[in-house]
Amino acid sequence: MNSWTRLTTFSLSYPRQRPLFYFLGLSFILIGLYYHFIAPTSVVALDEVFDTAAPQLPDKVWDERASQVRKAFEHAYHGYERYAMPHDELKPLLDRPIDNFNGWGVTLVDSLDTMFLMGLNDEFTRALAVVERADFALPKNQFAPFFETVIRYLGGLLSAYALSNNTVLLQRADELAMKLDSVFNTTSGFPFFAVNTVTGFTRGPQLGILAEIASLQMEYTYLAKATGKIQHARRAGKIIKALSKANLDMTGGMFPVRWNISSSEPYGSHMSVGAQADSAHEYLLKQYLLSGRTDKVNLEMYLRTTTYIITQLMLISPNRHLVYVTDRDDSKSGKPGLPSQVLEHLSCFLPGLLALGVHTLPLDDLESLGIDFTSLHSGRLSEDGLKAISGYSLKDLHLWAAQSLAETCWLTYADQPTGLGPEEVVFTSSWQAKKDTLWIDAMNRWKKSGSGARGAPPGLGKKAPIVYTEEERLRGGGKGRDYAVKKPGYLLRPETIESLYLLWRVTGDHRWRERGWRIFEAIERETKTKSGYASLRTVAIKPSYQDDSMPSYFLAETLKYLYLLCRNDDPIPLDKWVFNTEAHPLPVFEWSAEERHELAIYF
């Protein structure tokens, strides 16, 4: 019903363009009739979320939306203050605190920079009083998980310092880093999984996880720059060096998920951009941007990694032509195995990262940076990848990859009756039957047959959401999506919104912005509780069941990206700030000649 109403209003407001709109209107009606009578499942209204021609809403609508996001933040944070501060997180159903990240008040530290950006000065001041008293102590038998502690606490303190210039925040960040420092007591310089901040004892297996050993470079180099203590940057430099020297012949130039932290060698061939890997790939580009675009080593690793992802991990589904990114298992041969065809919500940061690269890098003129793209790719798998993408503008290819992936991530939300996306989906046609093919193969067929003349590249172009009715869901009869929901929960995660934000900033296409807003409306509708917001157990049933959890990243990331998406000005320009993987913006800086000299052995 909704689509017809919208179409009418739409045509009426543009009387001078009637012929075009009659044509569009007719196409919409035909598509609508198809889905109404022929397609097996119900289809959501066609409207401005996927109509490029729809007009951008006026600024004052977006001002009002920004203020609604700010109100949502206040609701969540005031609930935390009332029932949980200074503990880690609020349980938003029982209105009780939980200490699940060291007990140092992770929600308030993670929230500082968001509060600063929103102008919530009283809340910021109250939180600062807690930070002033922080001692980062732990009982003897408890260990701080290093990765989470760095991205949430250290990143949160540093970002709030960079925005406010309050030196207490920098002092606390430096103290925290010193108390964590024995975590680096390995022969490789890769950190252990966890450390006790009082005894310095460490915990963790010899085989480390990529995301956990290689997502500290931004925090540690900015800390070094801000404090003038170059030893913090050496911690990062040693990891950057180990990554850049690793032998990746078996994995096509990309980092596998597991690493031996004694020998600093990659282990096995499980390849992923999702859980356990994500932010290590993200930090390659972001570290390059943060340190004033001088550290070519990270940029080269980013370029190799994205070639692998685009040619080996991105697939396209047979009917809806949904482009998605998946992982490959270990195999006996030592080379990556078959794709799992699982798309994780966590992997939905990737379109945003690719868009950021398109925005900031001269991808079609890498020689201007002294980079020979061809010679970056050595070893057979890597050379195969290079061959598969030859003949494209690298910038176009990365942008198409970003747009088509973001489309899929968004559709996994729009397909659900709740309007929120599941934690994991699995694409259902069998890989062996070659139905879900590599996206790059579909691209190459498109290119060979005259590309431009045949319309948008595979995966791009208008796709309607497919919402199964409750009856279809119950009898397992829903069809047409090309995927099944594997893990149905929505954990208030930010990744899709983050990518929508970056794509909107980079392309200026307001469909991305409008889609982000729809997600915010769904969050308000489905997850709000008396004291905060709660994760959902399933996105496939409406009304859903809520879980008693409000992760700190909901305030640090999800609401921050939504707020920035709605702001008409741009308080965090992408060429002056770089977001860490917890959405904490750090300011771009340059090393002095002296600092560069001190760090030279690592770069």
Q: Is 86:130 a contact under the CB 8 Å cutoff?
A: yes
Dig out the tokens for 143 from the structure.
């260990």
Q: Is 459:404 a contact under the CB 8 Å cutoff?
A: yes
Give catalytic status of residue 482 as yes or no.
no
Binding residues (CB under 6 A) for ligand NAG: these are: 164-165, 182, 185, 200, 206-207, 260, 262-263
Give catalytic status of residue 423 as yes or no.
yes
Peptide bond into 92 cis (omega under 30): no
d(CA 261, CA 251): 18
Query: Which of residues 166 and 408 has its CB atom nearest to ligand NAG in the complex?
Result: 166
d(CA 159, CA 165): 10
d(CA 484, CA 473): 11
Q: Is 463:312 a contact under the CB 8 Å cutoff?
A: no
Among residues 127, 197, 138, the alpha carbon closest in space to that of 168 is found at: 127
Q: To the nearest whole angstrom, how small is the minimum distance from the Cβ of residue 403 to ligand NAG?
A: 35
107 is in an annotated binding site: no
Active-site residue among 88, 423, 482, 526?
A: 423
Q: To the nearest whole angstrom, how small is the minimum distance from the Cβ of residue 115 to ligand NAG?
A: 13
- Phi/psi for 280 (5° steps) reads -65, -40
Q: Evaluate the CA torsion angle 549, 553, 554, 558 in order and state its sign.
A: negative
Reduce the DSSP state of residue 230 to 3 states and report it.
helix
Query: Which of residues 263 and 428 has its CB atom nearest to ligand NAG in the complex?
Result: 263
Active-site residue among 212, 278, 415, 557?
A: 278
Q: To the nearest whole angstrom, how small is the minimum distance from the Cβ of residue 196 to ligand NAG?
A: 10
Query: Which of residues 419 and 585 has its CB atom nearest to ligand NAG in the complex?
Result: 585
- How far is residue 197 from each of residues 137, 141, 142, 180, 219, measured CA to CA in Å? 6, 11, 9, 6, 18
Q: For 377-529, where are the alpha helices, taking DSSP H only?
A: 380-388, 394-414, 439-448, 470-474, 495-507, 510-527
Query: Which of residues 167 and 390 has its CB atom nearest to ligand NAG in the complex?
Result: 167
Q: To the nearest whole angstrom, how small is the minimum distance from the Cβ of residue 147 to ligand NAG?
A: 19
DSSP string of 193-226, one letter each residue: SEE-TTT--EE--SEEEHHHHSS-HHHHHHHHHH
Query: Which of residues 177 and 353 has its CB atom nearest to ligand NAG in the complex?
Result: 177
Q: To the nearest whole angstrom, how small is the minimum distance from the Cβ of residue 588 to ligand NAG?
A: 13
Peptide bond into 339 cis (omega under 30): no
Query: Which of residues 185 and 430 has its CB atom nearest to ligand NAG in the complex?
Result: 185
d(CA 295, CA 283): 12
d(CA 212, CA 563): 28
Query: Which of residues 208 and 551 has its CB atom nearest to ligand NAG in the complex?
Result: 208
Give catalytic status of residue 557 as yes or no.
no
Q: Is 583:153 a contact under the CB 8 Å cutoff?
A: no
Q: To the nearest whole angstrom, how small is the minimum distance from the Cβ of residue 261 to ligand NAG?
A: 8
Residue type, 240: I
Q: To the nearest whole angstrom, how small is the minimum distance from the Cβ of residue 204 to ligand NAG?
A: 13
Query: Which of residues 16 and 332 has its CB atom nearest to ligand NAG in the complex?
Result: 332
Q: To the nearest whole angstrom, how small is the minimum distance from the Cβ of residue 182 to ligand NAG?
A: 4
- Phi/psi for 242 (5° steps) reads -60, -40
Q: To the nearest whole angstrom, how small is the minimum distance from the Cβ of residue 146 to ligand NAG?
A: 14
Among residues 280, 175, 283, 184, the alpha carbon closest in space to that of 229 is found at: 175
d(CA 568, CA 581): 24
Three-class SS of 471-501: HHHHCCCCCCCCEEEEECCECCCCHHHHHHH
Cα 13 off chain centre by = 37
Active-site residue among 123, 212, 327, 495?
A: 495
Among residues 106, 261, 81, the alpha carbon closest in space to that of 176 is found at: 106
Query: Which of residues 67 and 206 has its CB atom nearest to ligand NAG in the complex?
Result: 206
Which active-site residues does the annotation give? 148, 278, 423, 495
Q: Annotated binding site for Ca(2+), which residues?
A: 581
Q: Annotated binding site, which residues?
A: 581
